[in-house]
């Protein structure tokens, strides 16, 4: 039997003006000297005010800008956290700033506070870090769950709608990943049923409240943030990403390898992966497509600037990406099956 170890945030704050509560959260964590990991743009818009606020509350803060998502860059930031002897790192911004701060706190054993300024994927509260190895190959590592998550709705509501739609698509993908995880469970793998249910609930929230979410107003962003945080917790509870990353993610990772011209975001690719995998799990691909269209997320190869050939290739390659039980099995899809699936779900155009 496996021993389960849940590491969850001790504080999650979602609300208008939630940034005002950063000093009290840092006090709760016993942090008086901190490192804010962010980028120049976010610093100008939110970071400056946050630091003024912290200074007023006698919290000493340092700022570092993340330049890229390479291992070396994340190591540089971890070294800085160590040098400055901070008690906590704050990830303020998009995925890269949050990941860099998470990595630094994991490497140095400091507290970590996640303050996303957008919800473009499910990683705002997850313990995983995505980074690029020197050979540019993407790598995902289990680091640590945030000690606190603070989502200021007044800030996130201003994020580009495209990013929020991408976050929606990434979370909607849990419809498939939880089915893949259940398949693994039924085949005897130790997957947390609680984690699966949590991820399923996150996806269901989006399905049931798509009309409130679609305009990405305050209520919509609030629901999206809650769903993203639930996904992060599901990963923490399970100790790996299995409940939140199944065949729909394998497709997205495979597309990253085969497609050179695409200009899509991670969540957008996962959304298309979700449409593609739906028929295999007897889920209505039309429903997934409709939900994605409702938030203006892409639904075809053309929408994301990938060629039809690349989509087919990614489908035949997906099962090889990582050793994980999914509906694709260990042999994956034949080229013919991949082509049929992509045409059936209208991801590529039917042949004349
Ligand atoms: Zn994802």
Tell whether 248 and 133 lie within a shared domain.
no
Tell whether 212 and 317 lie within a shared domain.
yes
Tell whether 146 and 281 lie within a shared domain.
no
Residues 120-131, mean pLDDT to the nearest whole number = 91
How many angstroms separate the alpha carbon of residue 54 from the centre of ligand 1?
32
Domain end point (choices 156, 178, 211): 156
Above 90 in pLDDT, residue 262?
no
User: How confident is the model over 47-64, as pLDDT tens digits?
Assistant: 999 999 999 999 999 999
How many angstroms separate the alpha carbon of residue 316 from the centre of ligand 1?
20
How many angstroms separate the alpha carbon of residue 131 from the centre of ligand 1?
14
Q: Say which residue the tokens 């390898």 belong to.
A: 257
Residues 191-217, mean pLDDT to the nearest whole number = 97
What is the DSSP code string of 155-174?
A: HHTTS-HHHHHHHHHHHHTH
Band of residue 88 on the pLDDT scale cut at 50, 70, 90:
very high
How many angstroms separate the alpha carbon of residue 270 from the centre of ligand 1?
7
Tell whether 184 and 148 lie within a shared domain.
no
Domain end point (choices 98, 126, 156): 156
**β-strand pairing of 11-15 with 148-152:** parallel
Which residue segment(s) compose the domain that 19 sits in?
A: 11-156
pLDDT of the residue at 140: 83
Band of residue 213 on the pLDDT scale cut at 50, 70, 90:
very high
Residue 112, in any domain of the structure: yes
Tell whether 44 and 146 lie within a shared domain.
yes
Neighbours of 37 (CB within 10 A): 31
**What share of the chain in percent tops pLDDT 90?**
92
Give the chain's largest Cα–Cα span: 69
How many angstroms separate the alpha carbon of residue 248 from the centre of ligand 1?
9
How many angstroms separate the alpha carbon of residue 91 from the centre of ligand 1?
18
Number of domains forming the structure of the chain: 2
CATH number at residue 121: 3.40.50.1970
> Exposed, middle or buried, 205 (CB in 10 Å: 0-12/13-18/19+)?
middle
């Amino acid at each position: 039997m496996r021993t389960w170890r849940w590491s969850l945030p001790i504080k999650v704050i979602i609300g208008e003006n939630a940034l005002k509560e950063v000093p009290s959260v840092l006090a709760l964590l016993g942090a008086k000297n901190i490192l804010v990991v962010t980028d120049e743009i976010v610093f100008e818009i939110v970071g400056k005010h946050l630091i003024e606020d912290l200074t007023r509350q006698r919290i000493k803060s340092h700022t570092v800008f993340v330049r890229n998502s390479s291992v070396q860059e994340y190591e540089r930031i971890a070294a800085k956290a160590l040098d400055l002897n901070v008690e906590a790192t704050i990830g303020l911004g998009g995925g890269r700033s949050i990941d860099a701060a998470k990595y630094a706190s994991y490497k140095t054993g400091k507290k970590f506070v996640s303050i996303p300024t957008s919800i473009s994927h499910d990683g705002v509260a997850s313990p995983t870090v995505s980074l690029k190895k020197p050979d540019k190959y993407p790598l995902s590592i289990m680091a640590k769950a945030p000690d606190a998550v603070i989502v200021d709705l007044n800030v996130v509501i201003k994020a580009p709608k495209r990013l929020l739609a991408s976050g929606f698509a990434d979370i909607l993908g849990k419809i498939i990943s939880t089915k893949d995880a259940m398949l693994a469970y039924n085949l005897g793998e130790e997957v947390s049923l609680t984690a699966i249910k949590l991820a399923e609930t996150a996806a269901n929230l989006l399905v049931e409240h798509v009309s409130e979410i679609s305009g990405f107003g305050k209520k919509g962003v609030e629901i999206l943030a809650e769903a993203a945080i639930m996904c992060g917790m599901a990963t923490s509870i399970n100790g790996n990403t299995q409940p939140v990353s199944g065949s729909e993610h394998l497709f997205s990772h495979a597309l990253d390898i085969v497609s050179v011209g695409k200009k899509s975001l991670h969540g957008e690719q996962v959304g298309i992966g979700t449409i593609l995998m739906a028929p295999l799990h007897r889920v209505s691909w039309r429903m997934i497509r409709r939900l994605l269209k409702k938030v203006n997320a892409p639904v075809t190869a053309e929408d994301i600037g990938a060629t039809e050939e690349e989509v087919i290739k990614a489908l035949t390659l997906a099962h090889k990406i990582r050793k994980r039980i999914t509906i694709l099995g260990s042999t994956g899809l034949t080229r013919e099956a991949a082509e049929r699936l992509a045409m059936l779900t209208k991801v590529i155009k039917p042949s004349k």
